[in-house]
Amino acid sequence: MLYSKNFYSLFKEQALKNPKKVALIIEEKKYTYGELLEKTDLFAEKLKTLSEGKRTHIATFLGNSLEMVLLLLVVSKLGLTLVPLPSDLPQEFAEEILKTCGVEMAITQTEREFKGIETLKVRELWGVPAKVKDWNVKPDLDTPFIITTTSGSTGKPKPIVLTQRIKLKRAFKGAKEIFNLSEEDVYIVSTPLYHSLAQRFTLLPLITGATAVVMKKFNLQKWLELVETHKVSFAVLVSSQLENIVSHLWEKGGNYDLKGLKKLISSSAPLLEKTRRRSLELSKTIGWEIYETYGTSEIGFASVLNMTKETRKWDSVGKPLPYVGIKIFSPEGKKLPTNQIGEIAVKTETIFAGYYKMPQKTAESFTSDGYFLTGDLGYLDEEGYLYFSGRKKEVIITGGINVFPQDVERVILTHPKVKECAVFGVENDYFGEVVCAFVVSKEPLTERELRNFLRGKLASYQMPIYIAFVEEIPKNHLGKVARRELKRLVDRKKLRLLTEKLKGLLL
């Protein structure tokens, strides 16, 4: 019966069972299960008033907020489809994604308008007249619940369809059972709620009777304070956040009582070896366990490594989960033996429902025997452990967020003084990778002038930290940009100073 109920129904059961227990803590405010249920039902009635009679694809341009949490439950209750997007997504990219995902309504934090789409600010939604009443919807767990987007090498959005059944399996089989979570746990969410991972670990505590602490934005000191104050026991972080936390505790310590913190999950990119060693030492006093994971938005978690216990396999990202199969393929599509690097392919019960209205792209993403081609490179050893070697495509992962070079290049090239440019990532201990750009100008152009031009046209995470003006972009004999050469040409001292300055602003 577990997968016969939707997220809202499971949440309501917990709210009726224990209405006075704290369900959600966000922006310094606590909401009990009873209070959150009341707000969810009210919000649902208001949204139903605007979308009654049709299945609506609703986009959100909201940060981590109470309303964003409510909408995750509301769309489950009303049988709608949510398309969560970054609040600062540039207009051009937003318009393209909204069209691709079939969005009919957009809810924003600030004043924004989109062609052919009804748009309202979230405070206007609160003002819609509505009366709370029971809403009996037969749960349809196999229609689109959330559409999250990724991009291919061309930068075109690929809309990933996730149904409620898929999200429920990822929550229970891919998290609750794997990490042995219970209603006694307190979770902390520090990544954006437009990310699939943050959605999962906000909803999971609410449907299992636990407590969720949701940060508006990650901040090191604030994270440590919240963990101590609310006795957080479980945290999922992108690797750059965990690197930052471990580094701070190792080098500066602090009078934080973190002994309630039992499990930390690292996602998005492999941890540095020094972080693994430091985390193991810290575990002796704090008592935590740190897990490394591998997965994508299309497949969910595919493998997990308990670094605290499986120290001899530190270089890996763990073994496949019980319901997951992993194969490694050559560029020609042949299955490779152990210890040979190739493309990681995954078969799992938590696979996505396809790319929205892209049947050919969906079919091309699978092998003939049903394995999803991740686009990542790696290998399996003799014991079945998976090792991640890199990405087939030049995606930059900065702070756990994907940045696609072509998107940034396209905007830079709109400057009238720019002749050519190349965008790429350089490894960084704090951010994972940082965005760098080499630019060839047609006439004199300063970095300040270019940055002023890009501001507002790029999201904050897309903005290059390092910009260098060169006479020509290095290319190979086929005319392709030689990205390795670009990385070699970066002034590391200047880059280090720039990242340290930005890091100081974030701490």
- Residue 357 has φ and ψ, to the nearest 5°, of 55, 35
C-alpha distances (whole Å) from 241 to each of 235, 376, 460, 506 are: 11, 22, 17, 11
Q: 87 near 109, Cβ under 8 Å?
A: yes
CATH number at residue 19: 3.40.50.12780
Compute how many other C-beta atoms are within 10 angstroms of the C-beta atom of residue 342.
Answer: 21
Confidence (pLDDT) at 420: 86
The CATH number that applies at residue 333 is 2.30.38.10
340 within 8 A of 346, measured Cβ to Cβ:
no
Q: 361 with 416, same domain? A: no
Q: What pLDDT sits at residue 506?
A: 57
Q: What is the model's pLDDT at position 153?
A: 36
Of the three residues 317, 341, 362, the one that is the final residue of a domain is 317
Task: List the structure tokens of 282.
Answer: 């810290």
Domain co-membership, 254 together with 293: yes
**Triad 263, 247, 293: Cα angle to 5°:** 40
269 and 323 within one domain: no
Q: At what angle do helices 220-229 and 239-251 cross, to 10 degrees?
A: 80
Q: How far apart are CA 429 and CA 420, in angstroms?
A: 29
298, 163: one domain: yes
Kindly state whether residues 170 and 294 are assigned to the same domain: yes
363: Cβ–Cβ under 8 A, 6 or more apart, which residues?
A: none
Distances in whole angstroms, Cα of residue 134 to Cα of each of 36, 69, 70: 16, 20, 17
Instruction: Choose one of 317, 333, 362: the last residue of a domain.
Output: 317
Q: Are 22 and 30 in contact (CB under 8 A)?
A: yes
Inter-CA distances, 305 with 202, 246, 309, Å: 22, 18, 9
Give the whole-angstrom CA distance, residue 243 versus residue 269. Answer: 11
pTM of full prediction above 0.85: no
Q: Considering only CA atoms, which of 53, 89, 84, 86 is closest in space to residue 71?
A: 84
Token code pair at residue 7: 């997220």
Residue at which a domain ends, from 301, 317, 333 = 317
- Is 279 in the same domain as 353? no
Total number of domains constituting the chain: 3
Instruction: Give the single-character DSSP code of 271.
Output: P
User: Tokens at residue 156, please?
Assistant: 């075109």
Measure the CA–CA gap between 174 and 293, rounded to whole angstroms.
Answer: 11
* One domain, residues 240 and 372: no
Task: Read off the tokens for 369.
Answer: 């025997």
pLDDT tens track, the chain, 507 positions: 568 899 999 999 999 999 999 999 999 899 999 999 999 999 998 888 877 656 589 999 999 999 999 999 999 999 999 999 988 888 988 999 999 999 999 999 988 999 889 898 998 888 887 765 655 566 689 999 999 987 443 457 789 999 999 999 999 999 999 999 999 999 999 999 999 999 999 999 999 999 999 999 999 999 999 999 999 999 999 887 898 899 899 988 878 899 899 999 998 877 877 788 899 999 988 999 999 999 999 999 999 999 999 989 988 999 999 999 999 999 899 999 999 988 999 999 999 999 999 999 999 999 999 999 999 888 999 999 999 877 777 778 888 887 878 789 889 989 999 988 999 999 888 888 899 999 999 999 999 999 999 999 999 899 999 999 999 988 754 445 777 788 889 988 888 888 888 766 555
280 and 182 in a common domain? yes
- Of 503, 403, 486, 412, nearest in space to 449 by CA: 412
CA–CA separation, 207 vs 203, rounded Å?
Answer: 6
Question: Within a 13 Å sphere around the CA of 222, how many CA atoms are in the beta-carbon half?
Answer: 16
User: Rounded to an integer, what distance in angstroms lies between the CA atom of residue 272 and that of residue 363?
Assistant: 35
CA distance 105 to 159: 17
467: which 2 tokens?
Answer: 């910009």
Measured distance CA(409)–CA(403) in Å, rounded: 11
Burial call 458-477: b when 16+ CB within 10 Å, e when fewer: bbebbbbbbbbbeeebeeee
Residues 311, 322 share a domain: no
Total residue count of the chain as it appears in this document: 507
Residue 400: domain span: 396-506
Residues 338 and 368 in one domain: yes
- Tell whether the torsion through CA atoms of 149, 154, 156 and 160 is positive or negative: negative
Task: Please check whether residues 334 and 194 belong to one and the same domain.
Answer: no
From 79, 140, 85, select the one nearest 112 (Cα to Cα): 85
Same domain, yes or no, for 192 and 219?
A: yes
CATH number at residue 500: 3.30.300.30
C-alpha torsion 97→98→102→105, nearest 10: 160
Range 228-232 contact pairs with CB under 8 angstroms and sequence separation of 24 or more: 228/256, 228/257, 228/258, 230/25, 230/186, 230/188, 231/186, 231/260, 232/186, 232/187, 232/188, 232/260, 232/261
Contact 83, 60 (CB under 8 A): yes
Q: How far apart are the first and last CA of the chain?
A: 46
